[in-house]
Amino acid sequence: MLRALIIGASGYAGAELANYLSHHPEIEIAGLVVSENSADKNKLLSNNDLYPQLKGKVDLPLIGSSDYSTLGHNIDIVFLATDHAVSHDIAPYFLQKGCVVLDLSGAYRVNQAEFYTSYYHFTHQQLYWLSQAVYGLAEWNAEKIKQAQLIAVPGCYPTAAQLALKPLLTEKLLNTNYWPVINAISGVSGAGRKANLKNSFCEISLQAYGLFSHRHQPEIAAHLGQDIIFTPHLASFKRGIYETITCQVNQGITRDDILTVFNNYYAHKPLVRVYSEGYPALKSVIGLPYCDIGFELDQQHLILIAVEDNLLKGAAAQAVQCMNIRFGFNETLSLL
Amino acid sequence: MLRALIIGASGYAGAELANYLSHHPEIEIAGLVVSENSADKNKLLSNNDLYPQLKGKVDLPLIGSSDYSTLGHNIDIVFLATDHAVSHDIAPYFLQKGCVVLDLSGAYRVNQAEFYTSYYHFTHQQLYWLSQAVYGLAEWNAEKIKQAQLIAVPGCYPTAAQLALKPLLTEKLLNTNYWPVINAISGVSGAGRKANLKNSFCEISLQAYGLFSHRHQPEIAAHLGQDIIFTPHLASFKRGIYETITCQVNQGITRDDILTVFNNYYAHKPLVRVYSEGYPALKSVIGLPYCDIGFELDQQHLILIAVEDNLLKGAAAQAVQCMNIRFGFNETLSLL
Amino acid sequence: MLRALIIGASGYAGAELANYLSHHPEIEIAGLVVSENSADKNKLLSNNDLYPQLKGKVDLPLIGSSDYSTLGHNIDIVFLATDHAVSHDIAPYFLQKGCVVLDLSGAYRVNQAEFYTSYYHFTHQQLYWLSQAVYGLAEWNAEKIKQAQLIAVPGCYPTAAQLALKPLLTEKLLNTNYWPVINAISGVSGAGRKANLKNSFCEISLQAYGLFSHRHQPEIAAHLGQDIIFTPHLASFKRGIYETITCQVNQGITRDDILTVFNNYYAHKPLVRVYSEGYPALKSVIGLPYCDIGFELDQQHLILIAVEDNLLKGAAAQAVQCMNIRFGFNETLSLL
Amino acid sequence: MLRALIIGASGYAGAELANYLSHHPEIEIAGLVVSENSADKNKLLSNNDLYPQLKGKVDLPLIGSSDYSTLGHNIDIVFLATDHAVSHDIAPYFLQKGCVVLDLSGAYRVNQAEFYTSYYHFTHQQLYWLSQAVYGLAEWNAEKIKQAQLIAVPGCYPTAAQLALKPLLTEKLLNTNYWPVINAISGVSGAGRKANLKNSFCEISLQAYGLFSHRHQPEIAAHLGQDIIFTPHLASFKRGIYETITCQVNQGITRDDILTVFNNYYAHKPLVRVYSEGYPALKSVIGLPYCDIGFELDQQHLILIAVEDNLLKGAAAQAVQCMNIRFGFNETLSLL
């Protein structure tokens, strides 16, 4: 049994991680950690005002983070379900102890220091670890993930967008002069678990935000090697990501060409489901670890539909998937 | 034209008040006031992150509350859409200037100082004004409202419960040994407009709260002169109150008796709609100033259904209705 | 007083029409008509299982449509809130009697017979009336509407898309080689009021539909004179349309240029609200007759956000607006 | 491996059954059956317009029901997720073949023929099997379930109500002269998967229905041996049951007495979770096979809160639980 620590365990992704790991046959949860001054400290994760759905399943206490040094003994794996500033600071501590670290924040996702200066507005201090980090897009980077000590798990928007576009770009089916137009709609859990008037039930309404300025735009563009237009929206549902991607194919490309490429890449990938006809609805993936992809072609224009549960394939499930790959377990262990 | 001030104008009830008054033919809005340290200070009420639906309708600025003394000139009417501690403190200032004050909080709703010690946990300091306050249950207290300088407008739960039960209790149709069981379900706006994890979109779920301990239980009981059981619930909708009230009728009471009593009391009350058959749904009243009442009788047991928009008949609309009654305008002016 | 008939009055748009007309000072409702075999025949529009929110406001009976000839006397205006096949067939009857007809269906929206063959799959039989029909995009066709006997009111998707794009295309700010990418999200009421498993509460989930094949694509393209990509989605809300439109501006066009053009066209149009900064949310327009427009520019790419209530500016409110224009009333009479 | 047939597999409970059985280690799905004239015949259960969430998990075809005789060979277990008229008619066919039948309808839930005459308005024709049927309230009838050939699985409302009240009635803690007031709120899936205007997304709104006349009232009363008042409501959520039950305790009963009784009955029952403090929210159980119970006592009055997922503990999960008990498997096999 490997011992895993989850830091940021009271957040939405952290709780999903705890749920998966609680029934993972190869993993023992070494501790669920929250920040020292969290109101959730010392509560059970399954407390009434936290995750009552986990009663009887994950009745573990939330430990204040000052206890790292104690917890740090005999830890094999650390999941950081923390924001990028925290991940940036604490990842090296665990890495130096030899732990494998799976970071769900943006702190190590792009191996260029200047990326952080431009889009995250801080100076990255961990250039060695930034250079070592492997991007945890599980279906695409398995070989590197197997060797990695620090895995930067991509988040919700980038995972769906890249899984849909990467096979077509790799196989040169797309007109790269046409920037794919990614219209993405996220559930509210994407904003995290915190008191914020913007996330209040009465305030939430379908709305675009961060036009031309969301951090995931350069992340997606950097990893695809393709300029894109990325327009995120927030909508009145708890979880899920729905992306409608409009792009242009090269002359002569047919529907069959596209389906063939998708099948070549994903037929044996258990967590990507390609629709040979029709396209997924949001409900297709809620509570499930899949990314579902459908498409429609009309002469030159191609519309891709990519959906996932933002907390699962867009966060916790992909992190566990990366861990499974890293340690040689079945890729979907505890996920399906 | 009378000049009216709205204090607490950036809250949900305050904004509804501003909307009604903005097209009231006899009223001029003298100012929309928020607390001095509100993040909304100096914004327009119709600002993108406040009430964009009011663009072009109520494009008035929110003024910081330190400006009372300036605003206090030539004010005829003050609406207090503030919490009870604030209302308690500032109502006397405006009353002493001769303004008519309509308080939407609980600060002056029960004319007994000990009520506040027991249920609000503070010592009421304004005993003179407390003794002068008239309870603004508009359909029942019109004569007193016409004379009042301080009108304590009842809130959402008590308005629906009392409008449903009061005719039957007054006409002695109910077995008073059987405490009416009031199961009430409120939309989230009842909790006010503030950053609170409990009101976060992802946290909200149908749930009872405050069992046997909600402040509205003694308020309803005191005004009805009848013990009750009151069980509030919060549910995943923005606005509205749905109350299902189970009670017992006296021997021999028929369905017709009940309908006759309701019609005697409400046939000429424009904001109470009695259903002669069937019962209202929540959608019957959302965005409307009505309280709708339906019922079903089975031998001894009677079930009453009372619904309203918590922000309208349960707050802003009833406050405007009281103002209309107080100044001799048509009761529904600007409401219908 | 002019006498108006509403045919299809039990549908969602029909009920909104009835609501507007019920308090229109220049209009008397001559009758609310439903199809002869409708389950709603002879009920009041405000019946419990129809529109209880209209109790006391529109307590009029729904008349079976075989009564046309009786109802046809002394009718000045007919609203057709019927599907296109019905509108196609019955419009001429009323037109020949001299009524002004406002058709909310697609039957007369494009003055080309072949349009109907291609996209509606039937042969249009009313070529004379088709040639006479005026497209009721109220902000753009007021002069023609004033003269029209048959006004084809555009529906939800086309109204928002055209109001956003038309000023920019007219003023040649857009690169017309780049087909605007219109991602549109509609509430469920857009599908009409009928028993259909697809509209069942449990089945609805955010989902694209009709990719490259929705009838509104050629309608929008025809009226704009511009190829477009139109991708409609259905989402879990009752009413509203949210359109995110990605397009390309010509070299050198600035944010100010765009704002200036919008203001030139719409500053004096009461039902279009242009956002000088930020962009609308869906809640900005629900229950209101406006179309709200915001935008963001990033070098060459421009994103337009256009929202409206699909049943109001996208149906009933625009129909009443057209009627007001046609008869010389204030454009917003009974709407604001 | 036992071979199980699911009849009515395209309904909401049927699909949940298929999902559970698909990963049950002791069960092989022998067939998923729908009615002969169902539009879903020959589709995969995981079809886009059925249950796309099951893609890759339950890709089995739906078979038209005329194929019973073929399917009937080598069948050990039959789940009837059909309405009561169908269950009434077809259960004997499978029983005579020696299958164990788990019926999720009301057809065999009360062992009195006259119950069906009064509340279901038909004459029960299967008196022998009615007399043999065991009521599948799993936590209470395990000994009988182990011997049963026909198990009548209770539905959503009765399961939650009985699990909450039965321990207290059995231990004589309640004043039986006071009829428990059961206010129950159901998600829309309780109405089944069919085209019905009443279930349309735009029509659904929080609303009581069936006051004093719902069939579950006599079912609950018969099995509890206690008169009750049962008031069901429909609300705008997909799944779940929330019951707020007001009752009266006998003189001298304390909070500890109640908790002790609940713990005595349920501490070792894995699918009932008793809250020693606080009370469950609807989200506590959605997607999970539990019934959660909380309570609050105020002198004489006691409020019980009982929640469950109507499709799981209120249907499919309880049916599988009964099957597990019947065949000596672990009670929660494939459920947790």
pLDDT tens digits, C77-105:
999 999 999 999 999 999 999 999 999 99
- Positive or negative, the CA dihedral B12, B13, B14, B17 is positive
Beta partners for residue A245, in sequence order: A182, A304
User: Which DSSP state fits A191?
Assistant: G
Confirm or reject contact between C276 and chain D (CB < 8 A).
no
B38-56 per-position pLDDT tens digit: 999 999 999 999 999 999 9
Taking CA–CA distances from D191, the nearest residue in chain C reads C202
- Give the burial class of B172: count Cβ atoms within 10 A of its Cβ; 0-12 exposed, 13-18 middle, 19 or more buried: exposed
C35-80 per-position pLDDT tens digit: 999 999 999 999 999 999 999 999 999 999 876 777 767 899 999 9
C178-190 per-position pLDDT tens digit: 999 999 999 999 9
Whether the per-residue pLDDT at B31 is higher than 70: the answer is yes
B254-280 per-position pLDDT tens digit: 999 999 999 999 999 999 999 999 999
Across B113-119, average pLDDT: 94
In the 3-class helix/strand/coil scheme, how is A3-47 assigned residue by residue? EEEEECCCCHHHHHHHHHHHCCCCEEEEEEEECCCCCCCCCECCC
Dihedral angle at the C-alpha atoms of A45, A49, A50, A54, nearest 10 degrees? 70
User: Which DSSP state fits B250?
Assistant: P
- Which helix (H) or strand (E) segment holds residue D186: the answer is strand D181-186
Whether the per-residue pLDDT at A303 is higher than 90: the answer is yes
D317-333 per-position pLDDT tens digit: 999 999 999 999 999 99
Closest chain D C-alpha to C238 CA, distance in angstroms: 5
The most distant pair of C-alpha atoms in chain D lies apart, rounded to whole Å, by 62
| From C196, C236, C239, residue closest to D195, measured CB to CB | C196
A25-58 per-position pLDDT tens digit: 999 999 999 999 999 999 999 999 999 999 999 9
pLDDT band at residue B65 using 50, 70 and 90 as cut-offs: confident
Beta partners for residue B242, in sequence order: B185, B307
Confirm or reject contact between B207 and chain A (CB < 8 A).
no
Across B160-187, average pLDDT: 98
Across B163-191, average pLDDT: 98
pLDDT band at residue C25 using 50, 70 and 90 as cut-offs: very high
Strand, helix or coil for residue B72: coil
In angstroms, the CA C77 to CA C6 distance is 9
Task: Choose from B23, B47, B48 for mutation: most chain C CBs within 10 A.
Answer: B48
**Which pLDDT belongs to residue A72?**
62
In this structure, are residues C5 and C14 in contact, taking their beta carbons and an 8 Å threshold? no
State the distance between the two ends of chain B, measured CA to CA, in whole angstroms: 20
**Which pLDDT belongs to residue C67?**
64
- Positive or negative, the CA dihedral C213, C121, C224, C304 is negative
In this structure, are residues A308 and A314 in contact, taking their beta carbons and an 8 Å threshold? yes
- The alpha helices in chain B, defined as continuous H runs, are 12-22, 68-71, 84-96, 113-115, 127-132, 142-147, 156-170, 216-224, 255-266, 317-326
**Which pLDDT belongs to residue C1?**
93
Question: Which of B185, B164, B170 minimizes the C-alpha distance to B275?
Answer: B164
pLDDT band at residue A73 using 50, 70 and 90 as cut-offs: confident
Across B217-223, average pLDDT: 96
Residues 119-158 of C with CB under 8 A from A: none
Residues 285-304 of A with CB under 8 A from D: 285-288, 290, 292
In this structure, are residues A327 and A2 in contact, taking their beta carbons and an 8 Å threshold? yes
D213-262 per-position pLDDT tens digit: 999 999 999 999 999 999 999 999 999 999 999 999 999 999 999 999 99
Question: Which of B77, A301, D194, B158 minimizes the C-alpha distance to C227?
Answer: A301
Catalytic residue list of D: 156
User: Which DSSP state fits A129?
Assistant: H
Across D108-135, average pLDDT: 96
Across A227-249, average pLDDT: 98
In this prediction the ipTM stands at: 0.96
Whether the per-residue pLDDT at D170 is higher than 90: the answer is yes
In angstroms, the CA A279 to CA D36 distance is 28
- Which two tokens mark A177? 């002069």
| Phi-psi label, residue C19: left if phi above 0, alpha if psi -120 to 50, beta otherwise | alpha
pLDDT band at residue A71 using 50, 70 and 90 as cut-offs: confident
pLDDT band at residue D27 using 50, 70 and 90 as cut-offs: very high
Confirm or reject contact between D277 and chain B (CB < 8 A).
no
Across A207-235, average pLDDT: 96
Whether the per-residue pLDDT at B66 is higher than 90: the answer is no
Residue C156 a catalytic site member: yes
In this structure, are residues A173 and A253 in contact, taking their beta carbons and an 8 Å threshold? yes
Beta partners for residue C207, in sequence order: C234
CB pairs under 8 A between B and C: 51
List of domains in chain B: 2-154+314-326 (3.40.50.720), 156-309 (3.30.360.10)
D270-293 per-position pLDDT tens digit: 999 999 999 999 999 999 999 999
**Which pLDDT belongs to residue C232?**
98
Q: Which residues of B touch D237 (CB under 8 A)?
A: 206, 236
In angstroms, the CA B102 to CA A325 distance is 66
| From B52, B57, B281, residue closest to C52, measured CB to CB | B281
In this structure, are residues B45 and B54 in contact, taking their beta carbons and an 8 Å threshold? yes
Average pLDDT score, chain D:
96
Q: How far is CA A205 from the centre of its chain?
A: 24
Q: Which residues of C touch A235 (CB under 8 A)?
A: 206, 235
**Which pLDDT belongs to residue A219?**
96
- The alpha helices in D36-77, defined as continuous H runs, are 68-71
Q: Which residues of B touch C54 (CB under 8 A)?
A: none
Closest chain D C-alpha to B294 CA, distance in angstroms: 10
Across A214-225, average pLDDT: 95
Of all residues in chain D, what percent carry a pLDDT higher than 70? 99
pLDDT band at residue B73 using 50, 70 and 90 as cut-offs: confident
Confirm or reject contact between B246 and chain D (CB < 8 A).
yes
Strand, helix or coil for residue C103: strand
Whether the per-residue pLDDT at A67 is higher than 70: the answer is no
Across A268-277, average pLDDT: 97
**Which pLDDT belongs to residue C72?**
62
Task: Choose from C16, C23, C55 for mutation: most chain B CBs within 10 A.
Answer: C55
Confirm or reject contact between D205 and chain C (CB < 8 A).
no
Strand, helix or coil for residue B199: helix
D28-71 per-position pLDDT tens digit: 999 999 999 999 999 999 999 999 999 999 999 999 987 677 77
**Which pLDDT belongs to residue D72?**
62
Q: Which residues of A touch D56 (CB under 8 A)?
A: 270, 273, 290
Question: Which of D77, D107, D73 minimizes the C-alpha distance to D95?
Answer: D77
